[in-house]
Amino acid sequence: MSRIVFIGLGNMGLPMAANLVRAGHVVTGLDLSGDALARLVEAGGRAGTSLAEAVADAEVVVSMLPEGRHVEAVYAGEEGVFAHAPHGCLFIDSSTIHVESARKVAGMAAARGFDMADAPVSGGVGGAAAATLTFMVGGSDTAFGRAEPILAAMGKTIVHAGASGAGQAAKICNNMILGISMVAVCEGFALAEKLGLDAQKLFDIASTSSGQCWSLTTYCPVPGPVPTSPANRGYTPGFAAAMMLKDLKLSQDVASAAGQATPLGAEAAQLYRLFVDQGNAGRDFSALFEFLRGGKSA
Ligand code: NAD
């Protein structure tokens, strides 16, 4: 059992923190939203009153924040985690952020004598609630060894991807594949509709055929075939379109820096840019289906 501070209790962070509570850890949450803090308290956690006070006796800090700028501010800001964490505290950032941003923060942690792992996740809100996430971890062997038992309370598959930033590299590649595959599945269902083919029939066939993928079988973007998918609840996230756009932009940044052509990744990034610009930032990323078929968007 560890004293854990969990920073960022959003769609992902709240159920992850609740699983740490369930595993017997003492979890103090921090978030800008009082509602999120109240929900952690309902799940058996504690609401932190300030970062300085919460972190002062923490053994582990886990963060699940939107973007790299939030992660950098929370850890390295004047009143951030580095300024208040006790010697020996372990830091685990599970947000999806730029590889360079992760390396920068981990480097600052190392310079202050702390172990830090980047440990982004795959599996979505469903995986976060069920503690079945996949963690892809970047950091030293020591940081990985210390992080693994904490991550085990929130996930099923934990892979040490390599040194600092390797977890983010894996996540960015994975989500570029996801963004592209979601566009493909949306296009398939939009075309089926125009051809007069029933969505359930396409699902029954494609989900057992070569078109089968996670975007289809777990996260189907049309209402009906997968009752738990966001399409059945008005496309409330889940995984917001703004987050997918962020990840696709990250993929294009690193692809251009690495000199690797990713034409479908570039196309998917452009489509999500258009979709988000039309007021859909807060809708689930699978709502792209409505946009592609020319129907309603927010
Ligand atoms: P979210 O917007 O629902 O949650 C982020 C939370 O961070 C919010 O509650 C917000 O109030 C809080 N926050 C922001 N700045 C803060 C600060 N300075 N101090 C304390 N709290 C702060 O986002 P999410 O969907 O939970 O995603 C979080 C991260 O996980 C992102 O990097 C995202 O790309 C990644 N991710 C999300 C999913 C998904 O399905 N939603 C899946 C895998 C990875």
CA 118–ligand 1 middle distance (angstroms): 15
In CATH, the architecture of 169-292 is: Orthogonal Bundle (1.10)
**Catalytic residue among 156, 171, 194, 246, which?**
171
Q: Which two tokens stand for residue 13?
A: 């962070």
Q: What is the pLDDT of residue 120?
A: 98
User: pLDDT grade, residue 295 (50/70/90)?
Assistant: low
Per-residue b/e over 74-99, b at no fewer than 16 CB within 10 Å?
Answer: bbbeeebbbebbeeebbbbbbbbbbb
Which of 30, 31, 50, 122 is the pocket-test mutation for ligand 1 (most atoms within 8 Å of CB)?
31
Q: What is the pTM of this model?
A: 0.93
Tens digits of per-residue pLDDT, 133-154? 999 999 999 999 999 999 999 9
Query: What is the dotted CATH code of the domain comprising 3-162?
Result: 3.40.50.720
Q: What is the pLDDT of residue 297?
A: 53
Asked if 3-162 and 169-292 have one fold, the answer is: no
Q: What is the pLDDT of residue 208?
A: 98
Q: What is the pLDDT of residue 298?
A: 56
Tens digits of per-residue pLDDT, 186-218? 999 999 999 999 999 999 999 999 999 999 999
Tens digits of per-residue pLDDT, 251-269? 999 999 999 999 999 999 9
Mean pLDDT rounded to a whole number for the chain: 97
Nearest residue to 289 via CA among 251, 234, 246, 238: 234
CA 259 – CA 254 distance, rounded (Å): 8
Q: What is the distance of C-alpha 289 from the center of its chain?
A: 21
Residue 174: CB atoms within 10 A of its CB come to 18
Every domain of the chain and the residues it spans: 3-162, 169-292
The mean pLDDT of 30-49, rounded to a whole number, is 98
Q: Which two tokens stand for residue 88?
A: 């020996």
